[in-house]
């Protein structure tokens, strides 16, 4: 058996997530308490009680999901369950990097909180939207985005065969959704997000994140195989990891190709380390 751990990003959150872990596992309690001590933030209240509009703020969502994932990892460690290869969807890549020891627990938690704040606070003026287009090939979605006349919209997440998330100005996204339906898409679904994530519109956030990443240590002596979102290749010891992570927020997520790469390398078991089973559903379509 070759085991992969998959870590989710924004969208996997829900009010009440992690409460069962905290109540039943000492390992989870230690993680939540340690994160709260580091950040001086009531992550338990945000995660367990919400309300939804607070949890769904990007600065809170990211740290809540990360804490949940790290708690599960700590429990699995107790039972000597370890992965051969790792991949994370957007934010989830940080969970993978912490698990692999590329980022320390302390630095990882702090940079994820800062990443969430920067992505929330550096969205350009305007009304932004993301939507999932289901049932069209990647190239078709790329082409229809170019047909849009009402504003900026581009592919942002290549999730799985037949599912691409687009991102951009609200009217442009809505126009792209209508074009997609007219060209045979099975569904076009608006997502609950607050910015044009994984597009060039987050360049300012990327620049500020790079300055924050320059302040922390990166361990390049890692042994786990970690798949990068930006190109679906494995991290290498001589990579400029800070540069990769800063560009990450303004580059499309190529998750589909990452899953294909893991299958080619013999992965036969995927375990999602997060609040929902959203990534596992994506894998079943590969």
User: Taking CA 88 as the corner, what is the angle to CA 123 and CA 25, rounded to the nearest 5 degrees?
Assistant: 105
Give yes or no: residues 65 and 118 share one domain: yes
Structural domain total, the chain: 2
Asked whether the CA dihedral 220, 224, 230, 231 is positive or negative, the reply is: positive
- Tens digit of each residue's pLDDT (9 = 90 or more) over 35-51: 999 999 999 999 999 99
Instruction: Please indicate, yes or no, whether residues 132 and 249 belong to a single structural domain of this protein.
Output: no
Q: Is 69 among the residues known to form the active site? A: no
Same domain, 14 and 136: no
* 176 shares its domain with 41: no
The answer to whether 195 touches 123, Cβ cutoff 8 Å, is yes
- Tell me, yes or no, whether 7 and 33 share the same domain: yes
Question: Distance between the two ends of the chain, CA-based, in angstroms?
Answer: 19
Q: Are residues 268 and 139 in the same domain?
A: no
Residue 278 clears pLDDT 90, i.e. is over it: no
| CB 257, CB 232: distance < 8 Å | yes
153: CATH: 3.30.70.250
Give the tens place of pLDDT for each residue, 229-244: 999 999 999 999 999 9
Task: Check: pTM over 0.75? Answer yes or no.
Answer: yes
- Which of 145, 172, 191 is the endpoint of a domain? 191
138 plus 272 within the same structural domain: no
Which one of the listed residues 47, 69, 71, 90 is annotated catalytic?
90
Q: What is the pLDDT of residues 58-107, one digit of tens each?
A: 999 999 999 999 999 999 999 999 999 999 999 999 999 999 999 999 99
Domain shared by 117 and 173, yes or no: no
Which residues 6+ apart lie within 8 Å of 240 measured at CB? none
User: Residue 206 belongs to what domain range?
Assistant: 3-122+200-284
What was the pLDDT predicted at 17?
98
What percent of the chain has a predicted confidence (pLDDT) above 90? 92
* Residue 283: predicted pLDDT: 62
Task: Please state the separation of Cα 235 from the chain's center in Å.
Answer: 17
Whether residue 8 is found in the same domain as residue 82 = yes
Cis peptide before 270 (omega within 30 of 0): no
Residue 90 designated active-site: yes
Select which of 95, 198, 248, 251 is catalytic.
198
pLDDT confidence bin for 284, thresholds 50/70/90? low
Asked if 111 and 236 sit in the same domain, the reply is yes
Residues 146 and 208 in one domain: no
């Amino acid at each position: 058996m070759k085991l992969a751990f998959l870590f989710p990003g924004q969208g996997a959150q829900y009010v009440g997530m992690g409460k069962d872990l905290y109540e039943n596992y000492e390992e989870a309690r230690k993680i939540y308490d340690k994160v709260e001590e580091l950040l001086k933030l009531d992550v338990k209240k945000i995660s367990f009680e919400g309300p939804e509009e607070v949890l769904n703020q990007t600065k809170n969502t990211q740290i809540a999901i990360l804490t949940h994932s790290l708690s599960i990892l700590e429990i699995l460690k107790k039972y000597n369950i370890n992965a051969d290869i790792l991949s994370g969807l957007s934010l989830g890549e940080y969970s993978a990097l912490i698990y692999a020891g590329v980022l320390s627990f302390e630095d990882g938690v702090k940079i994820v909180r800062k990443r969430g704040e920067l992505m929330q606070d550096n969205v350009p003026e305007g009304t932004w939207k993301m939507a999932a287009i289901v049932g069209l090939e990647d190239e078709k979605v790329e082409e229809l985005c170019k047909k849009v006349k009402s504003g900026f919209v581009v592919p942002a997440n290549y999730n799985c065969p037949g599912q691409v998330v687009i991102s951009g100005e609200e009217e442009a996204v809505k126009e792209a959704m209508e074009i997609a339906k007219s060209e045979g898409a099975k569904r076009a679904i608006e997502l609950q997000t607050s910015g044009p994530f994984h597009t060039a519109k987050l360049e300012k956030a990327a620049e500020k994140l790079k300055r924050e990443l320059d302040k922390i240590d990166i361990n390049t002596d890692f042994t786990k195989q970690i798949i990068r979102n930006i190109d679906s290749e494995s991290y290498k010891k001589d990579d400029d990891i800070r540069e990769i992570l800063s560009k990450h927020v303004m580059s499309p997520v190529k998750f589909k190709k990452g899953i294909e790469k893991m299958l080619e390398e013999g992965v036969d078991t995927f375990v999602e380390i997060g609040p929902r089973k959203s990534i596992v559903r994506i894998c079943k379509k590969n």
